[in-house]
């Protein structure tokens, strides 16, 4: 007997036409729902462009609607709801507050946190989407899974822990907040076969495991790693370092957005982007031009700013929500055989640097630096002296050289890096080589940018 390919074979193997039909039915209902239940947020936005729900008759009409939600709009809506209704969950809250049974938030380290709300129904979607994601990565009921995301942080914290438990796996909620020593102690004692966390956590474990446990990460027994929260699994060199560091573990990329609507990469030799695993719950791959905000034709290879729309979330449903990532869409079939569309995340719209007309993603810079390991450690920072996106060349970058290099080798490496960045990414870099381990490490998201203008005041 062969094992099933998907967690939910019926939903995950539907044809594009079947999905399209299902999506439209749900979308039509959802448009009416948010219009009726959000008198301070969604309804005025429809009214402002003269679009009554009944006027939206097809996907093309839907795609002509403007961006309706973003982080900035959320912040304002949270303030208004705090004043008007005495809760910070935003005027886009479409369900009665007593039906909201789960809340999580952003960290709140840079200003007030953003809150996300779930009804019981919404949580079931969260659990279902993660089960589909993790099943495709090979995680099965009964597996012990080390959870290394920040527990209080974002949708990857508690929502993933509960989703793993709901699918029958055994999450070990070590959490990034407890630090690397505690996490490795949990790993030593519980012997997980899978790890979920950020790519930088996976790399940090490889680096620290020999010191803390006295043996390499390859002996932890972890066979599957599903990362999220930052590019990494899609970067060839990071991928190589993580899979080798964990002794041939399989590495998958995932992305859940704020509502637990998971997506996951497949086990193809080359990174194929992430498969959308829950097309009947949301549209992940709507694209607009980041400058004009006009819709971009949804063709194979198209690149644009992503908008997410959920079809049946009740509490705080995203609708034409600009979440700030630049995506590339792939509509042609994947070599792995799984149906449906895929996408790659190119970086944050806000992170996109403009070095005298040349568009540069910090993640792409990191990829180049990574390709020089072990002569570099892979750690780097782009140093910005003024707010992005405009940067006057040369672009300043700090790069950690690898252990054991002598001065002349460091200088040669620096010259090679400048040439490689110029050749591959077309910008001129001013590189400062710094000692191994001198840049701060993080168990959360890998930091790529250092802002000197923020420290100045
Ligand atoms: Zn695939």
Query: CA-CA distance, 451 to 386, in Å (whole number)?
Result: 7
**Together in a domain, 69 and 179:** yes
Stretch 55-78: mean pLDDT: 94
Cα dist from 226 to 163, 199, 237, 266, whole Å: 14, 9, 16, 11
Q: Does the structure show a pLDDT above 60 at 1?
A: no
State in Å: Cα 336 to ligand 1 middle.
4
Q: What are phi and psi of 344, to 5 degrees?
A: -115, 145
Helix extents (H) in 137-248: 158-166, 180-190, 199-213, 236-245
State in Å: Cα 264 to ligand 1 middle.
9
Nearest to 152 by CA among 195, 101, 119, 105: 105
Q: What is the pLDDT of residues 352-372, one digit of tens each?
A: 888 988 888 887 888 889 889
Percent of the chain at pLDDT exceeding 90: 74
Q: What is the largest CA-CA distance in the chain?
A: 71
CATH number at residue 181: 3.40.50.12780
Residue 321, both tokens: 């929500």
Between residues 257 and 252, which one has the greater pLDDT?
252
**Together in a domain, 201 and 270:** yes
**Together in a domain, 320 and 399:** no
Helix (H) or strand (E) holding 252: strand 250-255
Query: CA-CA distance, 37 to 162, in Å (whole number)?
Result: 28
Domain boundary among 327, 346, 365: 346
Query: CA-CA distance, 90 to 74, in Å (whole number)?
Result: 7
pLDDT at 72: 86
Domain boundary among 346, 376, 401: 346
**Together in a domain, 255 and 175:** yes
State in Å: Cα 303 to ligand 1 middle.
19
State in Å: Cα 443 to ligand 1 middle.
29
**Together in a domain, 85 and 112:** yes
State in Å: Cα 271 to ligand 1 middle.
8
The model carries a pTM of: 0.82
Whether the Cβ atoms of residue 388 and residue 398 lie closer than 8 Å to each other: no
Strand partners, 401: 376
State in Å: Cα 387 to ligand 1 middle.
38
Stretch 323-346: mean pLDDT: 92
User: Which pLDDT band holds residue 444 (cuts at 50, 70, 90)?
Assistant: low
pLDDT at 110: 63
CA dihedral 159, 163, 165, 168 (to 10 degrees): -170
**Together in a domain, 70 and 189:** yes
- What residues have their beta carbon closer than 5 A to ion ligand 1? 266, 272, 334, 336
**Together in a domain, 80 and 176:** yes
Q: What is the pLDDT of residues 269-281, one digit of tens each?
A: 889 999 999 999 9
Helix (H) or strand (E) holding 127: helix 120-136
Number of domains in the chain: 2
Q: What is the pLDDT of residues 236-256, one digit of tens each?
A: 888 999 999 999 999 999 998
Could you give the count of Cα atoms lying within 13 Å of 246 in the half-sphere of its Cβ? Answer: 26
Domain boundary among 319, 346, 373: 346
CA dihedral 269, 274, 367, 378 (to 10 degrees): -90
Q: Tokens 């956590």, residue?
A: 201
**SS3 state at 330:** strand
Q: How many residues in total does the chain contain?
A: 457
Between residues 363 and 435, which one has the greater pLDDT?
435
Whether the Cβ atoms of residue 184 and residue 191 lie closer than 8 Å to each other: no
Sort residue 411 into left (φ over 0), alpha (ψ -120 to 50) or beta: alpha
**SS3 state at 379:** strand
Nearest to 68 by CA among 90, 89, 43, 85: 43
pLDDT at 248: 97
State in Å: Cα 170 to ligand 1 middle.
26
Instruction: Note down the domain range covering 373.
Output: 353-455
User: Which among 111-115, 401-405, 451-455 has the top mean pLDDT?
Assistant: 401-405
Strand partners, 407: none
Nearest to 351 by CA among 307, 290, 439, 260: 290
**Together in a domain, 176 and 243:** yes
Query: CA-CA distance, 201 to 191, in Å (whole number)?
Result: 17
State in Å: Cα 345 to ligand 1 middle.
15
State in Å: Cα 326 to ligand 1 middle.
20
State in Å: Cα 274 to ligand 1 middle.
7
Burial label for 88, CB within 10 Å (0-12, 13-18, 19+), is middle
pLDDT at 443: 61
State in Å: Cα 284 to ligand 1 middle.
16
What is the pLDDT of the chain when averaged over all its residues? 92
**Together in a domain, 314 and 424:** no
**Together in a domain, 270 and 293:** yes
**Together in a domain, 316 and 411:** no
State in Å: Cα 270 to ligand 1 middle.
9
State in Å: Cα 433 to ligand 1 middle.
38
Stretch 116-126: mean pLDDT: 96
CATH number at residue 448: 3.30.300.30
Whether the Cβ atoms of residue 381 and residue 449 lie closer than 8 Å to each other: yes
Query: CA-CA distance, 401 to 229, in Å (whole number)?
Result: 26
State in Å: Cα 200 to ligand 1 middle.
24
State in Å: Cα 304 to ligand 1 middle.
21
Q: What are phi and psi of 237, to 5 degrees?
A: -75, -35
State in Å: Cα 335 to ligand 1 middle.
6
Query: CA-CA distance, 41 to 34, in Å (whole number)?
Result: 9
State in Å: Cα 342 to ligand 1 middle.
8
**Together in a domain, 248 and 392:** no
């Amino acid at each position: 007997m062969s094992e099933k390919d998907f967690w939910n074979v019926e939903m995950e193997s539907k044809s594009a036409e079947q999905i399209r039909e299902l999506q439209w039915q749900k979308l039509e209902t959802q448009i009416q729902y948010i219009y009726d239940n959000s008198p301070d947020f969604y309804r005025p936005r429809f009214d402002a462009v003269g679009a009554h729900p009944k006027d939206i008759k097809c996907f093309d009409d839907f795609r002509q609607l403007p961006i309706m939600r973003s982080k900035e709009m959320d912040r304002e809506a949270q303030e208004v709801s705090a004043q008007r209704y005495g809760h910070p969950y935003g005027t886009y809250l479409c369900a009665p507050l007593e039906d909201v049974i789960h809340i999580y938030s952003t960290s709140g380290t840079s200003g007030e946190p953003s809150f996300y709300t779930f009804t019981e129904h919404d949580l079931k979607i969260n659990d279902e989407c993660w089960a589909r994601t993790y099943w495709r990565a090979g995680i099965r009921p009964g597996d012990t899974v080390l959870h290394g995301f920040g527990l209080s942080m974002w949708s990857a914290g508690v929502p993933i822990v509960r989703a793993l438990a709901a699918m029958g796996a055994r999450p070990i909620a070590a959490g990034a907040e407890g630090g690397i020593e505690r996490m490795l102690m949990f790993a030593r004692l519980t012997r997980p076969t899978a790890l979920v966390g950020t790519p930088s956590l996976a790399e940090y474990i490889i680096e620290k495991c020999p010191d803390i446990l006295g043996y390499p990460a390859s002996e932890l027994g972890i066979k599957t790693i599903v990362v999220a929260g930052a590019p990494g699994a899609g970067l060839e060199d990071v991928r190589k370092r993580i899979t080798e560091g964990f002794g041939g573990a399989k590495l998958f990329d995932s992305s859940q957005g704020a509502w637990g609507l998971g997506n996951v990469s497949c086990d193809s030799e080359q990174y194929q982007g992430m498969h959308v695993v829950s097309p009947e719950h949301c549209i992940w791959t709507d694209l607009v031009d980041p400058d004009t905000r006009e819709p971009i034709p949804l063709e194979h290879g198209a690149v644009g700013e992503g908008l997410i729309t959920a079809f049946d979330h009740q509490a705080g449903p995203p609708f034409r929500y600009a979440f700030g990532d630049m995506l590339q869409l792939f509509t042609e079939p994947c070599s792995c055989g799984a149906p449906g569309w895929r996408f790659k995340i190119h970086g944050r719209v806000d992170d996109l640097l403009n070095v005298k007309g040349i568009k540069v993603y910090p993640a792409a810079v990191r990829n180049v630096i990574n390709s020089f390991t072990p002569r570099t450690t892979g750690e780097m920072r782009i140093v910005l002296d003024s707010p992005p996106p405009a940067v006057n060349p040369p672009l300043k970058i700090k790069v950690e050289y690898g252990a054991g290099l002598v001065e002349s080798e460091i200088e040669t490496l620096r010259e090679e890096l400048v040439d490689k960045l110029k050749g591959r990414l077309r910008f001129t870099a001013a590189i400062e080589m710094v000692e191994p381990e001198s840049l701060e490490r993080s168990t959360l998201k890998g930091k790529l940018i250092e802002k000197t203008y923020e420290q100045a005041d």
